[in-house]
Amino acid sequence: MATAALNAAVSALTTKFKLTKAPEFRGETTLWLEASQLRDVARFCKDELGFTYLVDLSSVDNFGEEPRFEVVYELYQFERGDHLRLKLRVSEDHLEVPTVSDLWPTANWHEREVFDMMGILFADHPDLRRILMWDGYPFYPLRKDFPLAGRPSDMPDVAFTNKAPLEGGPFVTVPSCATTKDREPRARHQE
């Protein structure tokens, strides 16, 4: 259920930026905007409405529809406990939206992950490079047209040729009757 303060914030956003409010679902408030509005709306949400925390930034592939992609921003206001979702659609012909990593530092890796998995570019991002797949990987694994079995690659199978030794590793404990604190590997080196 939306608080009075959240309703006032939504009213301010819909009035000032002409945003569209999605039907409320399970008490969640969602506003739709255009990619060209993102920077102004995000700055207003943070500076004027107090949404100082970007909880998550994700994307959705609506394969077969146009615009195909959605970018979703989950914002949080700590003092009131208000949650606001912003969504925008991105066409397959123009896969670029502005970065918000300068407004919310948490967006840095989220934007890199969306770029890596979906191929959506974030203009003016300070370090937009792959975060999970290796450089030069030509596909985007979370797109719905990506085959479930994956695609062949030239990546060598080095990581999977031998068993990895676990004994003596930094996070491997030695079986004993000692407490967890005393079995912790770093505790052994403090003697």
Give the whole-angstrom CA distance, residue 73 versus residue 75: 6
- Alpha carbons within 13 angstroms on the beta-carbon side of residue 58 total 9
Q: Which amino acid belongs to residue 21?
A: K
User: Is the model's pLDDT at 181 over the cut of 80?
Assistant: no
Give the whole-angstrom CA distance, residue 71 versus residue 117: 12
Neighbours of 33 (CB within 10 A): 20
Output DSSP code: residue 28.
B
Q: What is the CA radius of gyration of the chain?
A: 22
Q: What is the pLDDT of residues 111-144, one digit of tens each?
A: 999 999 999 999 999 999 999 988 888 889 999 9
Give the class (CATH, top level) of 4-153.
alpha beta
Domain boundaries, the chain: 4-153
Nearest 5°: phi and psi at 13?
-70, -45
Q: What is the pLDDT of residues 48-92, one digit of tens each?
A: 999 999 999 999 999 999 999 999 999 999 999 999 999 999 999
What pTM was estimated for this model as a whole?
Answer: 0.78
Give the whole-angstrom CA distance, residue 157 versus residue 161: 7
User: Is the model's pLDDT at 185 over the cut of 70?
Assistant: no
